Structure 1
Amino acid sequence: MDLIIKNGTVVNAGETVKADVGIAGGKIVAIGMSLEAEGATVVDAADKLVLPGAIDVHTHLAMPFGGTTSADSYLAGTRAAACGGVTTVFDYPMQRKGMTIKEVIDSKKAICEQEACVDYAYHCIITDLNDGAILEEMGSAVESGITSFKCFFVYKKEGMMVDDGTFVQLLLKAKEVGAMINLHAENPDLIDYNTERFLAEGKTSAWYHYLSRPEYVEAEADKRAVHWAKHLNAPLYLVHMADEEGLEAAIEAKKENPDIFIETCPQYLEFTCDVYKREDGRNFVCSPPMKGQESQDALWKAIKNGDIDVVATDHCPFQSFEKDWGKDDFTKIPNGCAGVENLYPYMLSAANEGKISFNQAVELCSTNPARIFGCADKGSIAVGKDADIVIYDPQANFTISVDNMHSDYDHTIWEGIQLKGYPEQTYSRGRLVYDHGDFVGEPGWGNFVKREKRT
């Protein structure tokens, strides 16, 4: 064996055991007590938790949006991921009219091969069917390991929205070829109506970003989406769920179609819409926005009950001067916040505080993402799996600051948030990439994850 992590407490979604973990060739090869250490590097994890690396299935790296590009490159975003215990990152490359799925993915792969510090995968955003050519290409994309595709019910004016007819065609094709459709669900017409009304009335602060797309605007689109998925018996993954009414509809729909999955994000679990009343409220602008306390309470309840499947981040940070473009006009604020380095520490802190179990944190951030999106070698500490491992110190105290993060942004909405417990090491396929506060990996280490099709 190359490496043995000894004396730790191994936490998987289904069990917690005291055990050593043996690693060779980037894989977990043994789990048991008192593993033979001859010739191996030994890491003592006494009094520590040994966890599978997190999988953040929702990031937007180097993404053009709102007149700029998100602040984290593939290098910076995956470096930050490693330092937060995230060992696989899913990005959302955007198809534009006339582009094939292969062209979209290949353009990003060429960058990631040089920059990615941890493993990576893609959901391809579909904005145009190219007269049906995209539907024909989806089967070959699945065979190449791209098994999920995203649609927007919003951004109509920007040419990114799909209508119900297109959405249904994509749902049916995904069902046929063993893929998944991911959906950003909000109602664009109500958003546009509200936005125009507020601007005409001179109501331009960040608070009106929230009021232009409140709970019921998201809920209508959630309900419409699960209506189609339920009646077509097609797989559907609802991204960044933030509202109580839509959440309840999705939970109910799952009873008839278990292939409906719900994702939420840490920002909706920590903050409410009141942040938009703050002087720096523009920094919190993302879509969908944070909602009211009732929605936040409903999200936590659903997490505790096992009704939410995944917690991911929608990581899409912008620099503060770019957020300032919307100081006097909320429509000019680039939408997005940081999160990839905060995901696992935040959810593990919630477990450490007793809100959920550590097993649930692993399930939400690692095991379920791997299962839902076909990452056969990821998601648990088990023989044969990739040695994507986080050593977590439950006794550590950590205060988040832009100064101790590892991204390229100049501010974070998580500034000052205190966490109970923190990762002290991250291993990507058996290689140490984060060590007690420092990134020790290298760009280009990450591998493309070819995912299995849905059956």
Structure 2
Amino acid sequence: MDLLIKGGTVVTAAESFLADVAVDGGKIVAIGKDLDVEADKIVDATGKLVLPGAIDAHTHMQMPFGGTVSADSYLAGTRAAVCGGVTTVFDYPVQHKGETILGLVGSKKEILEKDACCDYAFHCCITDFNEGQILEEMAEAVEKGITSYKCFLVYKKEGMMVDDGMLAKILLRAKELGAMVNVHAENPDLIDLRTEQYLKEGKTSAWYHYMSRPEFVEAEADKRVVHWSTHLDAPVYIVHMADKEGLEACIKAKEEGHELYVETCPQYLEFTCDVYKREDGRNFVCSPPMKGQESQDALWKALKAGFIDTVATDHCPFQSYEKDWGKDDYTKIPNGCAGVENLYPYMLDAANAGKISFEKVVEVCATNVAKIFGCDNKGSLAVGKDADIVIYDKDKDFTISVDNMHSDYDHTIWEGKKLHGYPVKTFLRGQLVYEDGEFVGAPGMGEFIKRSPRT
């Protein structure tokens, strides 16, 4: 036996119980009390929680955007991931005109095969049909384990938006192939209209980033996605849900039995739009922006009630000098914030404080993600699954700072956030990659996850 984790409290999406976990050949081979096995390495987890590695279903690493490239390379971003207990990330390569799905994903895989410190998968962003070739290519891509695609209902001027007709075609094709469509829902025409008005009036601070795309601008697009999904009877996954009105439309569809999944992010659970009034408000600029207190309360309520399926980060950090490009004009601020290293610690801190259960954290940060996106060997602690394991000390106090993160950015919106409880070890397929604040893995350890289509 390669590894035996003894005496911890194993947490699944359904229950918690005292047990040992035995690992061999990168897989979990036994779970039980007082396992009588010999192992090359024994880890004492007495008094600690033993959790499945988190899966961050939403990251943008090494991504060209806003006149620059996001601050975390694939190496830095995946290194940060495992140091926060995230053992698999989903990245979003964006198709440009004329590119194919497999060509785009292949170019990213070449980098990640050398640099990845955790396992990885892709949601391919479709922006160009290539005269219908993309719909045909989706079949081959699904066979190769690329089973999810993203559509932007925004970024019209940037040439990334799909219209309703394209969205409908992709939804129907994905349904036919057992794939999933992820949607970024905001209304670009309303954003452009309001932005034009604010710039004309000289209203250019970060606050007007929020004001240009407030709750109702996101909600309209959310409702449109729900409308097409339910009437086409095609499943859909709405990313980074931030507003109450759109969330309520999703909940209604779910209650009516439609297959619709909702993701939110830690930044929407922690911050409100008031951050854009701060002197450093530009650092919080992301799209969609943080919303008002009413929306935040609705997100927490839906999370507890099971209407939010996953929590992911939309990790897309930029350097402070790049954020400063928009200090006098919010439209020049690169959109995105850090989060991949903070996802699991933040959500587990909420559980430690009694806001939600530890089982719920495992459900929305690991188990549900694996089920929705066909990661058959991920997402839970069970015999036969990959030994992606996090040991969590509920009593360890930790204060987030750019100085103790493992990314390449020079600031974080989480600076000064105090957490009670923190991961102390992360194992990727049974290999120790993080221990007591230090990355101890190596670039290239991560593997591509070939995912199963939906049945």
The TM-score normalised by the length of structure 2 is 0.99
In the TM superposition, what whole-angstrom CA distance separates every residue of 1:393-433 from its partner, at most 9, and x where no partner exists?
00011100000000000000000001110000000000000
The 8 Å contact of residues 240 and 314 in structure 2, kept in 1 or not, is answered as yes
- Deviations along 1:246-265, whole A, 9 cap, x unmatched? 00001111223442000000
* CA distance in 2: counterparts of 1:228 and 1:54, whole angstroms: 31
CA distance in structure 1 between the partners assigned to 2:401 and 2:274 by the alignment: 21
The runs of at least 4 aligned residues of structure 1 exceeding 2 Å deviation read 36-40, 255-258
Contact 2:93–2:122 (CA under 8 A) maintained in structure 1:
yes
Q: Deviations over 1:5-54 (max 9, x none)?
A: 00000000011110000000000000011112424310000000000000
Whether 2:267 is the aligned partner of 1:267: answer yes
Q: Secondary structure at the match of 1:262?
A: strand
Q: Is the 8 A contact 1:287 1:336 kept in 2?
A: yes
Query: Contact between 2:153 and 2:162, CA under 8 Å: does it hold in 1?
Result: yes
Query: Where does 1:342-421 land on structure 2 (aligned, <5 Å)?
Result: 342-421=342-421
> Does the alignment pair 1:142 with 2:142?
yes
Could you tell me how far apart the structure 1 residues matched to 2:438 and 2:73 are?
Answer: 19
After superposition, residues 16-415 of structure 1 pair within 5 angstroms as 16-415=16-415
2:4·2:39 contact (CA, 8 Å) conserved in 1?
Answer: no
Contact 1:233 1:257 in 2 (8 A): no
Cα RMSD between the aligned structures?
Answer: 0.6
Provide the secondary structure at the position in 1 that maps to 2:226.
helix
Contact 2:204 2:329 in 1 (8 A): yes
Return the offset for 1:100.
Answer: 0.7
Residues 264 and 308, structure 2, Cα contact 8 Å, conserved in 1: yes
Deviation at 1:112, TM superposition (A): 0.3
Letter paired with 1:150: K
1:173 partner SS: helix
Instruction: Call closer, same or farther: CA 1:315–1:275 in 2, change over 3 Å.
Output: same
Residues of 2 paired with 1:277 and 1:322: CA distance?
A: 19
Within 1, Cα distance between the matches of 2:39 and 2:255?
52
Separation in structure 1 between the aligned mates of residue 281 and residue 153 of structure 2, nearest angstrom: 25
Cα distance between partner residues in 1 of 2:411 and 2:387:
32
Describe the SS at the equivalent of 2:432: strand
Q: Which residue matches 1:5?
A: 5
Whole-Å Cα distance in 1 between the matches of residues 39 and 62 of structure 2?
A: 42
Say which SS state the counterpart of residue 21 (structure 2) adopts.
Answer: strand
Q: Look up the SS of the partner of 2:47 in the other structure.
A: coil
User: How far apart, CA to CA, are the structure 1 residues paired with 2:430 and 2:97?
Assistant: 41
Q: Is the 8 A contact 2:233 2:258 kept in 1?
A: no
The unaligned stretches of length 5 or more in structure 2 are none
Return the alpha-carbon distance in structure 2 between the equivalents of residues 55 and 257 of structure 1. 26
Amino acid at match of 2:107: S
CA–CA separation in structure 2 for the residues paired with 1:97 and 1:132: 13
Q: One-letter code of the match for 1:118? A: C
Given that 2:230 and 2:258 are in contact with CA atoms closer than 8 Å, whether structure 1 keeps it comes out as no
8 A Cα contact 1:53 1:388, kept in partner: yes
Aligned counterparts of 1:255 and 1:355: Cα–Cα separation in 2: 24
Which has the higher mean CA deviation after the structures are superposed, 34-43 or 88-97?
A: 34-43
What is the rounded CA distance, in whole Å, between the counterparts of 2:85 and 2:58 in structure 1?
15
SS at match of 1:8: strand
Q: What amino acid is the match of 1:120?
A: Y
What is the letter of the counterpart of residue 14 of structure 1?
A
Q: Deviation per CA, 1:119-177: give whole Å up to 9, x if none.
A: 00000000011111000111111010000000000000000000000000000000000
- Map of 1:438 onto structure 2: 438
Which secondary structure does the structure 1 equivalent of 2:131 belong to? helix
CA distance in 2: counterparts of 1:436 and 1:24, whole angstroms: 23
Q: Secondary structure at the match of 2:446?
A: coil
Structure 2 Cα separation of the partners of residues 139 and 425 of structure 1:
39
Query: What amino acid sits opposite 2:114 in the alignment?
Result: Q
Letter of the 2:438 counterpart:
D
Q: Which runs of 5+ in 1 are unaligned?
A: none
